[in-house]
Amino acid sequence: MNAPGATLHDFADGRALAAALAERVAGCLREGLRERGGALLAVSGGRTPLHFFEQLAQSPLDWSKVQLTLVDERWVDENDPRSNARLVREHLLRHAAATARFVPLYTGAATPEDGLAEADRRVRALPLPFDAVVLGMGADGHTASFFPGGDQLEAALDPNLPTGVVPMRAPGASEPRITLTLATLLATRHLFLHIEGRDKREVLDRALEKAAPYPIRAVLERAPVAVYWCP
């Protein structure tokens, strides 16, 4: 791992990874609760983090003082099976974590552009910095909704962009999306990247090369990242 501050934690399988990552993130949240009286977490959607969600949901801490949001969201109703908010509600906001306050990015507007102002207001109201941000990565090297070829990719990766979220449409995204900007994601005390499979590890290794065009590189070169990986 040769990007600035990137460290690799590898595990035999997804269950072991999920348990370790949940323990580490819960520790970050406890630190926030102890030092500031509240904690703030951003997580990714998709199928990869489900075991992690289920492990974290059982972590003993004062979840009523934890706020939780997503790093990005598909612009679909929360009842849609592809909704990241639905996955969070079904797999994370359960057990001990049921009392956490969830702040969704989807607003119900017709398009992410129509809902941008409200989504941005919600993000700006969060008590940044995050205590932990847990990113994922696609086989095309995207993270959050920083897709190669995305119509707002340049804006999303602009560290000086004054807004907290941007809409995103891209050839590799099945639906329009909304995503936290790079600057918002980097406003965190602890940054994690959760990936599984040898194919994604190969993408990550290529992304760590300076000339790599993958969007994940924008994160790796700007902040310390703890990478949790299993085959």
Instruction: Write out the DSSP string of 160-209.
Output: T-SSSEEEE--TT-SS-EEEE-HHHHTSBS-EEEEEESHHHHHHHHHHTS
CA of 137: how far to CAs of 93, 121, 128, 157, 208, in Å? 23, 26, 23, 16, 13
Instruction: Please report, rounded to a whole number, the percentage of residues in the chain having pLDDT higher than 70.
Output: 98
* 91-135 pLDDT, tens digit each: 999 999 999 999 999 999 999 999 999 999 999 999 999 999 999
Question: Which residue from 27, 103, 22 is spatially nearest to 58, judged by alpha carbons?
Answer: 22
pLDDT recorded at residue 36? 97
Compute the mean pLDDT over every residue in the chain, rounded to the nearest whole number: 95
Residue 23 reports pLDDT greater than 60: yes
pLDDT in tens, 126-152: 999 999 999 999 999 999 999 999 999
pTM > 0.95: yes or no: yes
Written as one letter, the residue type at 185 is L
HSE at residue 158, side-chain half, CA atoms within 13 A, is 12
pLDDT tens, residue by residue, 146-184 = 999 999 999 999 988 878 999 999 999 999 999 999 999
